A and B are shown apart, each in its own frame.
Chain A
């Protein structure tokens, strides 16, 4: 295997072919005539997750994993038409993410004009996909929607932050859109053409995490059979997103701190450092200040990450945004599923507006997906909503960001119990709305429970149970 392919006679001394390809901000794949991988560059590795050692010598469709490869191979089309071909497609990387890409394929000829292989460039279309005018919505930044005062302030700040190169710390409860903000900042920054690499600091054990983030050299430890560049190196000229930074083990916090100081990474077992030009965005749902006070997070690292801070408010503090988001997701899922739903019934809306979304936007989105799937008519009715929110008594919660005591458990794992009841914006709870609906139906049906149950769209036994529950005489 030729480890260091060279270009001869282009310049006075032989050139390092791999190094040239690595500096190009596009994924590049070189194949032989049988469509087996000969070489790939660093950007391709960042995009797909396949290193050269993993991919060399195997059929390209198993590395690129794009739909074009299976439905209409662009390389074969290039061969048939004897010219370069460009097409848009999608691919699934080793992180199981589906990414929109543009693939351009060309033939490689030798000096005698004989076909020797193919070269493919892969362009990440995520940034242009978010600039699609159809997807742009008023009161939004990239894919983030809101018109509450708190969100407006964030929308004003984000474009400025995106244009700067400062480190950003994003805080907020689970489901508030921290990942979305990080990606939006990257896509609207000067680094949009570079890679966006995400690392979940809580997902891997400490030993694996170190090699994943900083890389390792062959032979650095038992099982290190090949060089691994590490995510920081892959994110060169792009952005690295450290999510759940609060879960980063202390020894790695020190290593990250060192990188933030001198911008050089040292893979495990390496004697020579790599100067990585990387912008750092970190996110957490934990209260880092409290973690600092109990010694679980380094103060100096917090100061270095906290250059610019974006706090995403929980949905319960975003007032009118709930309605905006409900309509947005209703439209979204209605279009996706080809249904003709044009709104919510009064009781359904009352339930949705009074519900406290502990899982924030993620939970609201899931509720809407469920409701659109279940709805049969042209409106979302109360019984189209998941049972757990119908049985839920609206409550006011003050969720504190977890820090010291529950560092090992995430918020989603340990939702806090409701403290006190509230009556919501309309001054009514779902119970009182439902009680009123039952009373009205009974009045209309002149006390006949069968007919009232029909009007309410529930079974007679459910109505009977509800009458007992609400003590309707």
Chain B
């Protein structure tokens, strides 16, 4: 059975807007049918892009869904063969669901848009 590991840096339920300011990462392991086999949250001692990259490699992550990331780290992770969806904002379950249905794209904004309490 081929397992696929997805990492999403989070802040509560939402994807943290900045990769370098992440202190919590949710790691989802899916089977071939893309259903979640395992879910765990790693809490980092401090926010650091270097340490987070190291964690992702140590955890053998295949796909990263994150917010804003500096080009240096983006290129590094791509070079390390990670599939990176950056610039994604919204809740992590929503982003994961889009990934499962193969409708997630880098830069996707998944929030419900509201101004002064009204949907727009």
Contacts and interface: CB of A to CB of B under 8 A. Distances in A.
A62 interface: yes
Nearest to B21: A70
Interface in A14-39: 32-34, 36, 38
Given A70-B18, A92-B68, A96-B68, A56 B111 contact: no
Given A56-B115, A98-B70, 10 more contacts: A1-B120, A32-B115, A36-B115, A58-B89, A58-B109, A58-B111, A62-B111, A67-B21, A92-B20, A97-B71
A98 B73 CA distance: 12
B27 interface: no
A347 interface: no
Interface in B8-43: 11, 16-18, 20-21
B7 to A, nearest CB: 18
B69 interface: yes
Interface in B72-120: 74, 86-87, 89, 107, 109, 111-117, 120
Contacts of B20: 67, 92
A71 interface: yes
Interface string A81-99: 0000000000011111110
Interface in A66-122: 67, 69-71, 92-98
Nearest to B88: A62
Given A65-B17, A67-B21, A94-B107, A38 B70 contact: no
Contacts of B116: 32-34, 38
Interface residues of A, number: 25
Contacts, number: 65
A56 B120 contact: yes
B74 to A, nearest CB: 6
Contacts of B115: 32, 36, 38, 56-57
A96 B114 contact: no
Contacts of A97: 70-71
Nearest to A93: B68
Contacts of A328: none
B17 A69 contact: yes
Contact of A36 (B69, B107, B109, B114): B114
Contact of B17 (A32, A62, A94): A62
Nearest to A95: B71
B120 A96 contact: no
A61 B67 CA distance: 11
A313 interface: no
A57 B110 CA distance: 11
Contacts of A56: 113, 115, 120
A96 B67 CA distance: 10
A70 B11 CA distance: 9
Nearest to A69: B17
A34 B107 CA distance: 23
